[in-house]
Structure 1
Amino acid sequence: MQEFNLSRKGILLLFLLLVSFTVFGNTFFNQWTYDDLPVVLQNPDAHSLAGFLENTRHGRPMRELTYIPEHILFGDNPAGYRIQQLAWHGVNGFLLVLVFNALGVELPFALIGALFFMVHPLQSESLANISHRKELLALFFSLAAILCYLRSFSAQGMRRLLLWGSSVAAYGGALLSNETAVTLPLVALLYEWLMVERGRRVLWRKPLLTSAVCLLVGAFLLYRFRWIFAAEQLLTVYSKNSFEASQSYIPLFMGAMKAFGFYLYKIVLPVGLAPEYHFNLSESFWQPWALLSLSLLGGAVALAVSIRKKLPLVSLGIGWFLTLWLPISNLLPVAYLAADRYMYLCLPGIALVLAVLLQRWPKRVVMAGTGLVLVVFAGLTVVQNGYWRDEHTLWRHAAKVNPDSSWVMESAAYSYYLKGDYETARTYVREALRLNRFNTKAYLVLARIEEARGDLAEALHNYEFFTEVGAVEYPDLVLEARGKIPFLRERLRLVEIYRKRMGSSGEGGGR
């Protein structure tokens, strides 16, 4: 296997940084979007070390730490934040090459796999939206943990202990960046089972002890995140998909299967991407797309097991993808059924499969076809970055590709409201409420739109309704709305007085 020297590593790192800045360079023209305002601009923990230590908002500590120097240097200018954003992505591509090479993939093919990961359009959300830096950081620490772990097998004595310690510390960094990295140790367990002789294994040296530790950790995690078993959490996921018919688990499971198939489809054909997606949920077991996805999932597991001896690295790549998919699968109700950013930790598994298959069958036509796909993907990514230019371009595009989502239509309505197009905004928000009458925030958006249109009575009605039903989900916004209500009532009272006087004046003039 071809080895790196320091000079080659430097050239490779510079090249992958150049790729990152070239493909995602147009994001420097983008404004704050999506979750950027609450996570970055309005988060005191991300503005100074003192604020971070005060910890007024519980979030991802590693992400907040990286925002502090940017806030000091660039303030509210999003362009300055993107330097670090794109740099992390380039470094992740570099680490991915090192990990693939350590696994036995030759450098050219390891590089192709890393490029597939880097330029894929699904990465646009993680790069274009600054608040999603948690994905970049989680992968950085995950890859660092894996690399240290792999290198420990060829080390001895104190160096080996240092590599083990570094791997554990890096894993801790991944968890502090994003909790979805929790299943990363399963990748190491899978690697030892597939690739390491029994006498050299570390984690599987004492299977009973390892199993006991896994059970204890699993029990702790179930206790730590016990809120996901609450009925309210299940209903939250259902509400995001405009489903109100049941509290059964069946719709969630079938929805998770649909999302799995959706991911596979978008990996192959990454068009029509949006920040939020909608899935039609049902209690019925007869859902062809869900059943097809379930078959694909079972087929992927069966394939990984059947080829584990002939193509162990392909099995490892499939296992990597599935292992990192588990925390975001929503087999336990967590959040959105699907999101582009969720694939950031999973895609390296697919990239490994690609790299291994290309190394095994390096036909010219296959290599040329792969190169063409990479170029097309890079072009699609540049286009996708443009949709993240500002809130209006983002949600206007999302409403076109995902018109069945109440949350997308509500966000599109608000973007039109900010543009001053109140009639179009009103159309979108009414569609959002038609799709899901339990979309609480849509009532607030409608209230703001009606206030801007001058329909104070309708605005007051929706503000009052929002304050009654939105306190749990949006306490800060409810507080703001409650502050508006007395002024609106007073304005409405004065308007009524004015109308009565004008009516009386009109009658007198007629006589």
Structure 2
Amino acid sequence: MTSGRFGRRYLLVVMLLATFVAYGNTFRNNWSYDDIPVVVENIDAHSLAGFLEHKRPGRPLRVLTYIPEYKLFGDKPAGYRIQQLLWHGANGFLLVLLLQSLGVETLPAILAGLFFLVHPLQVESVANISHRKELLALFFCLATLFLHRRLLAAEGRKRLVFAAAGLGTFGLSLLANQTAITFPAVLVLYELLFVPKERRFLIRRPLLAGVGAAAAAGGAFYLLRGLLTADQLLTVYSKNNFIASKSYYPLFMGVMKSFGFYLSKILVPTGLAPEYAVRFSEDFFQPAAWGGMALLVAVAAVAVFASRRAPLLSFGLGWFLLLYLPISNLVPAGYMIADRYLYMPLAGVAIAFAWGVQKLRLRVVYAAAGAVLVLFTGLTVVQNTYWYDEHTLWRHAAEVDPGSTWAQESAAYSYYVKGEYDQAREHALKALAINRFNTKAYLVLAQIEEGRGDIAEAVRNYEMFSEIGEAEYPALVAGVRDRLPELRERLRQIELYKKGNP
């Protein structure tokens, strides 16, 4: 065993140990958020035969990783978390190796890897089993970059072998999560910053590179064509209680607000939740949006101007921006902001963090970095507890972001399941007050009113859900329509009873 190999094994142990320390308390957590439909009720994830039937389209690589766990652990979530933490720890390990290969000393590289691992924004991706897609996508993106480095160092046909292997790992990253679509741009950035012209591969022939980029852009446009519609734009607006405009301008300004929000959470990762409300507006004067735009321009400018004197910093910021692009909602996709969206971009922030620590080379900086990591670890351990189950998750989300109709609706349902109907009703009414187009909230309110014994209100809300919910929830609407005749008859009997017994 060589000392180098021993060093890498020791480093892997450190990264995995840090991961298990920060996220070990997730082993007591139950299923939450998308876990039930994505894992527990998804027959594609239960066997290879089910996977081949492909009854629930989604992210196939993620689904494949659930099959052995389902065979071993069934519907017990604790067993699934072993793989969850291993993928996350492996990503931290690969990130440290990448930093070392870029000339970062061992201590700053380890600190940066730990920054990535224990940052509280990572909790959603790690604590929620259904979000394994983020972990897998980053792992195979990092593998692609390492293979690309081997390609650049190789000669002749070996280059083509590594190119084919890199194309394969990049394909796996896309099968895990489509937001990896911009990672080839990270490879181009790597060549521009660190590779002499004569050794470059992707941009060695500008014309060929341009044709390839155009083809990739065309392919991306084709894949995303369903999102480039007025209906999709209005879907995003309606989710955030905005119906005043069909213009793209409010969305663009919302994206700028989101960028500023993300940066604030990177620096001060408190008050985290699975969903956040964004206020859209057609107003020209939107301080939060203009502030976010100024920050975006500033980050991009630093990335450009640092390219010669501080290529590592430029690479980290460029990584962040390029992998932020697919989740920015410049192309309206759905949720405007989610912690899990920053999982892959945060690797770029960690690279910039490593540059800063190594650049200063002061004991006080190392001490401050260590203190930040201890603080972040503590915040992460606490944040894990909010993912204990649906009730703790959405109760906390409604407290953190009371303006989110989805957090209020989900909190209402969690209280309903626990039989706490008064609190459930309060949250359901808040959800509808925030956004009367929150279709699911009518169903939740109907269930709550039925639980409270107010059949008339239950029927009224079931009917409302039945009228407006078919496009989003066809199966649920079908079930409601099957039940409505029975409930209407119960309501008729109650009214007859009241007439006979004033």
TM-score of the aligned structures, taking structure 2 as reference length:
0.98
Relative distance call for 1:54 and 1:4 in structure 2 (3 A) is farther
Query: How far is 1:493 from its partner?
Result: 2.7
Partners in 2 of 1:166 and 1:281 — Cα distance?
44
Relative distance call for 1:5 and 1:407 in structure 2 (3 A) is same
Aligned to 1:130: 129
Partners in 1 of 2:441 and 2:292 — Cα distance?
33
| Residues 402-422 of structure 1 deviation map (CA, whole Å, 9 limit, x = unaligned) | 001111111111111111110
Alignment of 1:30-49 (within 5 A): 30-49=29-48
Query: How far is 1:386 from its partner?
Result: 0.4
Matched position secondary structure for 1:5: helix
- Between Structure 1 and Structure 2, how many residues are aligned? 501
Aligned to 1:70: 69
Aligned to 2:434: 435
Partners in 2 of 1:168 and 1:434 — Cα distance?
49
1:457 aligns with 2:456: yes
Partners in 1 of 2:70 and 2:482 — Cα distance?
30
Partners in 2 of 1:93 and 1:497 — Cα distance?
68
Partners in 1 of 2:140 and 2:223 — Cα distance?
22
Partners in 2 of 1:165 and 1:268 — Cα distance?
39
Aligned to 2:278: 279
| Residues 376-431 of structure 1 deviation map (CA, whole Å, 9 limit, x = unaligned) | 00000000000111111111111111001111111111111111110111111011
Query: How far is 1:159 from its partner?
Result: 4.1
Query: How far is 1:4 from its partner?
Result: 7.3
Partners in 2 of 1:25 and 1:480 — Cα distance?
40
Query: How far is 1:23 from its partner?
Result: 0.5
Alignment of 1:356-367 (within 5 A): 356-367=355-366
Query: How far is 1:157 from its partner?
Result: 4.2
1:207 aligns with 2:206: yes
Aligned to 1:191: 190
Query: What amino acid sits opposite 2:36 in the alignment?
Result: L
| Residues 42-95 of structure 1 deviation map (CA, whole Å, 9 limit, x = unaligned) | 111111101100001110000000011111111111111111111110111111
Cα contact 1:242–1:405 (8 A) shared by 2 = no
Cα contact 1:102–1:151 (8 A) shared by 2 = no
Aligned to 2:296: 297
Query: How far is 1:151 from its partner?
Result: 2.5
Matched position secondary structure for 2:329: coil
Matched position secondary structure for 2:336: coil
Query: How far is 1:361 from its partner?
Result: 1.6
Matched position secondary structure for 2:470: coil
Alignment of 1:329-478 (within 5 A): 329-478=328-477
Cα contact 1:33–1:129 (8 A) shared by 2 = yes
Partners in 1 of 2:3 and 2:104 — Cα distance?
12
Aligned to 2:223: 224
Query: What amino acid sits opposite 1:42 in the alignment?
Result: E
Query: How far is 1:164 from its partner?
Result: 2.0
Query: How far is 1:442 from its partner?
Result: 0.3
Partners in 2 of 1:85 and 1:480 — Cα distance?
35
| Residues 418-448 of structure 1 deviation map (CA, whole Å, 9 limit, x = unaligned) | 1111011111101110111000000000000
Cα contact 1:30–1:389 (8 A) shared by 2 = yes
Partners in 1 of 2:218 and 2:154 — Cα distance?
33
Query: How far is 1:501 from its partner?
Result: 4.1
Query: How far is 1:161 from its partner?
Result: 3.1
5+ residue gaps, structure 2:
none
| Residues 330-369 of structure 1 deviation map (CA, whole Å, 9 limit, x = unaligned) | 0110111111000101001010011122122210000100
Aligned to 1:161: 160
1:142 aligns with 2:141: yes
Aligned to 1:237: 236
Aligned to 2:269: 270
Partners in 1 of 2:284 and 2:499 — Cα distance?
61
Query: How far is 1:206 from its partner?
Result: 0.7
Query: How far is 1:500 from its partner?
Result: 3.9
Partners in 1 of 2:3 and 2:156 — Cα distance?
24
Cα contact 1:318–1:353 (8 A) shared by 2 = yes
Partners in 2 of 1:44 and 1:4 — Cα distance?
46
**Comparing 280-289 with 104-113, which one deviates more in the overlay?**
104-113
Query: What amino acid sits opposite 1:44 in the alignment?
Result: I
Partners in 2 of 1:435 and 1:265 — Cα distance?
25
| Residues 313-341 of structure 1 deviation map (CA, whole Å, 9 limit, x = unaligned) | 11111100000000000011011111100
Aligned to 1:109: 108
| Residues 107-146 of structure 1 deviation map (CA, whole Å, 9 limit, x = unaligned) | 2221111110000000000011111000000001011101
Cα contact 1:190–1:319 (8 A) shared by 2 = yes
Matched position secondary structure for 1:242: coil
Partners in 1 of 2:178 and 2:318 — Cα distance?
19
Partners in 2 of 1:73 and 1:384 — Cα distance?
28
Partners in 1 of 2:314 and 2:65 — Cα distance?
35
Partners in 2 of 1:61 and 1:42 — Cα distance?
16
Partners in 2 of 1:315 and 1:4 — Cα distance?
32
Partners in 2 of 1:13 and 1:202 — Cα distance?
31
Cα contact 1:433–1:439 (8 A) shared by 2 = yes
Matched position secondary structure for 1:336: coil
Partners in 2 of 1:156 and 1:19 — Cα distance?
39
Query: How far is 1:148 from its partner?
Result: 1.0
**Comparing 122-131 with 98-107, which one deviates more in the overlay?**
98-107
Partners in 2 of 1:358 and 1:432 — Cα distance?
45
Cα contact 1:60–1:178 (8 A) shared by 2 = yes
Partners in 1 of 2:110 and 2:478 — Cα distance?
52
Partners in 2 of 1:414 and 1:463 — Cα distance?
15
Partners in 2 of 1:312 and 1:392 — Cα distance?
46
Partners in 1 of 2:346 and 2:270 — Cα distance?
16
Fraction of identical pairs, as percent: 57
Partners in 2 of 1:4 and 1:167 — Cα distance?
28
Cα contact 1:450–1:458 (8 A) shared by 2 = yes
Relative distance call for 1:284 and 1:4 in structure 2 (3 A) is farther
Query: What amino acid sits opposite 2:370 in the alignment?
Result: G
Query: What amino acid sits opposite 1:415 in the alignment?
Result: S
Aligned to 2:287: 288
Query: What amino acid sits opposite 2:330 in the alignment?
Result: L
Query: What amino acid sits opposite 1:327 in the alignment?
Result: P
Matched position secondary structure for 1:243: coil
Query: How far is 1:150 from its partner?
Result: 1.4
Partners in 1 of 2:3 and 2:348 — Cα distance?
22
